[in-house]
Chains A and B, each alone.
Chain A
Amino acid sequence: MDLTAAAFALDRAEQRRDVRGSSEGTTLQSGGDSASVVGLRRVSKSFGPIAALKDVSLDIAPGEIRGICGENGAGKSTLVKILTGVYRPDQGTVLVNGAPASVATPRQAQELGIAMVAQELSLCPDLSVEDNIWLGSLRVPFLHKRPELRRRAAEALALLGADHIKLDALVASLSMGERQLVEIARLLTRDARVLILDEPTATLTDVEIERIFAALIALKREGRSVLYITHRLAEVYAICDRVSVLRNGELVATSALTGLDRAALIELMLGRPSGEMYPEETRARGAPALVVEGLTLPGVVDDFAMTVRRGEILCIAGQVGSGAAEIVAALAGLVHNASGRVSVNGRPLKLGSSARAAQRGIMFVSGDRAAEGVFRRLSVLHNLVATRLRDHSVFGILRTGTLRAAAGRLAMRVGVDRRRMRSRAEELSGGNQQKLAFGRSIERKADGVLLMNEPTRGIDVGARAEIYRLMRAFCEEGYALVMSSSDLEEIVGVGDVVITLYRGRQVGHYRRSEVSMHRIVADITHPVDQVP
């Protein structure tokens, strides 16, 4: 089972053939491209002076899994919101089964069979799976037959290959991936014919991702269509039949994935060749900056050890829940019950306080920007200088001049437009917000250690390359970088040293030259003694 997961993520070419094979029947039945379950005709939508969508036409065939790609702000979410009745187009029409249809409210969209799988799931954790599936459904008559509802709920789950989910289980007891399957089942009982998924895999483990993919392929066999929005190109290749690329509100291409290589897809998204995504390895390595021994987080991580040198990026690879992110957070002083011997530049550091860690030059960039990354309501300037007020104050009084100058320097270093200094952080794109988090973490007097959790989660391809370049630049300056990641491409692309983790235990330790995706996938899905 786990090996299939590995194959799924990796051998995309083969996988694509697989998917295509299974879909041939339905595609033929539907008569090729001319049939469309849902479509857009010359749709435009503006918000004030900003055109979010310009003249977009699109057709989704029955039984098609369509990828939607584009950088942040390309118009993906506007497109989805028009299809689901949240926004109305300024111009153009929405077509359902080839005929113009009014999709003015989310409820109308639902009645037409267009359903969005909510990202922040709309399930009630304290109710059972069955109750959640039927909750709020207009198809349940006042005098209903309970066995009948039960049977249909079970059928919907079975269709998704999720028979293992018990109808009486509380949703609170399910994993994120299982909840997503319940959510999809719930939409199926409402006869959804087009399901829209927006970054469904961001919080899932590889095994769960595989389950979701299997469910989507089952839907496709049934002749239902899926709109799949993601930043992870590997997933587009693994699951989608065709991909539509949006750029600055325009639909730049809709293409079959066979024959479209990844570089070409990235170029479509960016409008220019991507250049090198991952910069060159740093030449010089320095002394060990951070040495960790016997790090234990009760119930999560057991006896973890590592050494990070200046000028290198150490990557802790593991699935969500493996403890990789928790190790990084613990080193940042954010886990209270962490124990172990940690030394920074040769001097021991007691864990458990982020302020103490910061004083020793350990800075932390969170993967969860909204919750613990940026100060959304504060200005770009104040976000950039958040950690270094002490360096720019005398007896607690700030020296605004030098503070401003420092912020300007930092903005330039991390590549944030200096004219946006007074904008609130929340007005910036995800990529730029992440740059703020980097900006405030560097240029301390101490020889720094930079800790990162999933540094590019939810960040588009263009900004991602910039973040990687930034990380390399810090290496060149002598920073030691530690990051946790569950993104295979990223791990292989940027890690100078990769430590693989499975359920809180180290599995492997590789130098850059020894790293391969296959090894990592095998490692992070198996306990030490069972790695094939």
Chain B
Amino acid sequence: MSEQTLPGTWQFDWRLPLPHSRRGKVLVAIRAIAVLALVAVAVATPGFFTPVSLFSLLNTTSFIGCVAIGMTFITLSGNIMSFALGVTLSTSGIVFMAVLPLGLPAALILALAFGAALTGIQGFVVGYFRANPIIVSMAALALITGCATLITQGQGVYPQGEAAAALKGRFFGIPMPVAAFLFTTVIAQVVLSFTRFGRQLYMVGSNWRAALAAGLEPARIVLGAYVAAGLCTALAGILMAARYSSGDLELGLGYDYSAISAVLVGGTAISGGEGSAIRSLVGAFIIGICQALLLLNGFSTQIQYLVIGVIVLLVIMLQTLADAE
């Protein structure tokens, strides 16, 4: 009806930037309900609002969050998720610990480069060969786990000296992992919103063939997304290794799952092309708080998995419903 062209009439839209689409409304509703429920449970849980518990929550959330931001790049690029980010986190931590004797800066750079290379190879295969991203990530998981176990003999790697102590401290009063998480989120969001790569990532995720027809190079952009994911994940790996003073294959266990949960709960579309780093930050906090609340209320890890599984399932179903207009 309002499709008639009115050249020259450029009116400012004074309305609140509430979403017009049904999908957008569903998203807002999901978040509102989730936040209300969480607040209610949090208030009812004794010991939740104590400094110790909140700091621990922030720390845990930060690790999930960093991986989730990385996962966001992969999901946005239209490649759903990677099962190999957890193991990328662990191995980056191991590499960091192993090369720490070279000094902190060198160790940081090497570990980040290692993480970026691990996912970059997957991105290359997915982008240039159009291989199924899920299968590629599963193969990568098996390969990396196998190689890492062979090399480390299943043992943890412990730091020589105290070079990593700086990473355990605080940054202007904020625990280092939390600072790193916030920093990662801001950088990621800036990259997504204000750089050419970011916008092209949305295009490729939204419609690969249209991106190709428009003269973009989708394969290169997908490779970029995987490298970005590797960098974020390696950062989490480094901080986690520093925190536990060891690099171990066990460290990253389950983090890919928590991360994809955070991405989806945050509202990034599983089919790509829509979402943001900020959304994943919100998602990471929701998942982190859920885990903390379950833990404080005495539920076992199994129950935690179960609850998060149900949440993810619900979110996926809601997303699908919202899409099926």
Contacts and interface: CB of A to CB of B under 8 A. Distances in A.
Interface stretch (A62-70, A148-156, A309-317, A396-404): A396-404
A51 to B, nearest CB: 10
B273 interface: yes
A422 B19 CA distance: 11
A333 B211 CA distance: 13
Interface residues of A, number: 48
B210 A375 contact: yes
B217 to A, nearest CB: 5
Given A354-B216, A386-B203, A418-B10, 18 more contacts: A332-B213, A333-B215, A358-B214, A371-B210, A375-B206, A375-B210, A376-B207, A382-B203, A389-B200, A398-B199, A400-B194, A412-B7, A417-B3, A417-B6, A419-B6, A420-B2, A428-B3, A429-B3
A416 B5 CA distance: 6
A168 B206 CA distance: 41
B21 interface: yes
Given A398-B196, A416-B5, A417-B4, A375 B207 contact: yes
Contacts of A22: none
Interface stretch (A188-196, A266-274, A359-367): A359-367
B53 interface: no
Which one of B210, B212, B214, B273 has the highest number of Cβ atoms from chain A below 10 Å of its Cβ? Answer: B214
B269 A377 contact: yes
A427 B20 CA distance: 10
Contacts of A382: 199, 202-203
Contacts of A427: 20-21
B11 A371 contact: no
Contacts of A363: 215
A408 B202 contact: no
B170 interface: no
Interface in A366-418: 366, 371-378, 382, 386-387, 389-390, 393, 396-398, 400, 408, 412, 415-418
Interface string A268-285: 000000000000000000
A355 interface: yes
Given A378-B203, A386-B203, A355 B216 contact: yes
B195 interface: yes
A354 B213 contact: yes
A376 B206 contact: yes
A334 interface: yes
B209 interface: yes
Contact of A354 (B1, B195, B212): B212
A432 interface: yes
Given A396-B196, A432-B3, A424 B21 contact: yes
A472 B13 CA distance: 34
Interface centre among B2, B13, B195, B213, by most A CB within 10 Å? Answer: B213
A393 B200 CA distance: 13
B9 interface: yes
A408 B195 CA distance: 20
Contact of B196 (A366, A376, A390): A390
Nearest to B17: A422
Contacts of B202: 375, 378, 382
Contacts of A428: 3
Contact of A387 (B5, B207, B215): B215
A387 B203 CA distance: 10
Q: Is the interface of A mostly helix, strand, loop or mixed?
A: mixed
Contacts of A366: 210, 213
A418 B212 CA distance: 26
Contacts of A333: 215
A354 B215 contact: yes
Contact of B10 (A359, A386, A408): A408
A374 B269 CA distance: 18
B197 interface: yes
Contact of A364 (B195, B199, B203, B213): B213
Interface residues of B, number: 36
B309 to A, nearest CB: 27
Given A398-B199, A416-B5, A419-B11, A373 B210 contact: yes
B274 A377 contact: yes
Contacts of A386: 203, 211, 214, 216
B319 to A, nearest CB: 13
A128 B268 CA distance: 42
Nearest to B12: A419
Interface string B206-236: 1101111111110000000000000000000
Contacts of A408: 10
Task: With a 10 A CB-CB cut-off, give which of B3, B4, B8, B211 has the most chain A CB atoms.
Answer: B3
Contacts of B214: 354, 358, 364, 386-387, 440
A50 interface: yes
10 contacts: A50-B1, A355-B217, A364-B214, A378-B202, A378-B273, A397-B196, A415-B5, A415-B7, A416-B5, A429-B3
Interface in B1-60: 1-11, 13, 20-21
Contacts of A102: none
Interface string A49-80: 01000000000000000000000010000000
Contacts of B1: 50, 73, 248
Interface in A64-118: 73
A334 B211 CA distance: 11
Nearest to B204: A375
B273 to A, nearest CB: 5
A275 B209 CA distance: 36
Given A363-B215, A378-B202, A424-B21, A398 B195 contact: yes
A520 interface: no
A205 B65 CA distance: 54
A118 to B, nearest CB: 18
Nearest to A248: B1
Nearest to B197: A396
Given A366-B210, A396-B195, A397-B195, A357 B200 contact: no
A248 B194 CA distance: 41
A33 B194 CA distance: 64
A119 interface: no
B3 A357 contact: no
Interface in A321-370: 332-334, 354-355, 357-359, 363-364, 366
A373 to B, nearest CB: 6
A423 interface: yes
Given A376-B207, A398-B194, A398-B195, A419 B9 contact: yes
Contact of A377 (B5, B20, B206, B212): B206
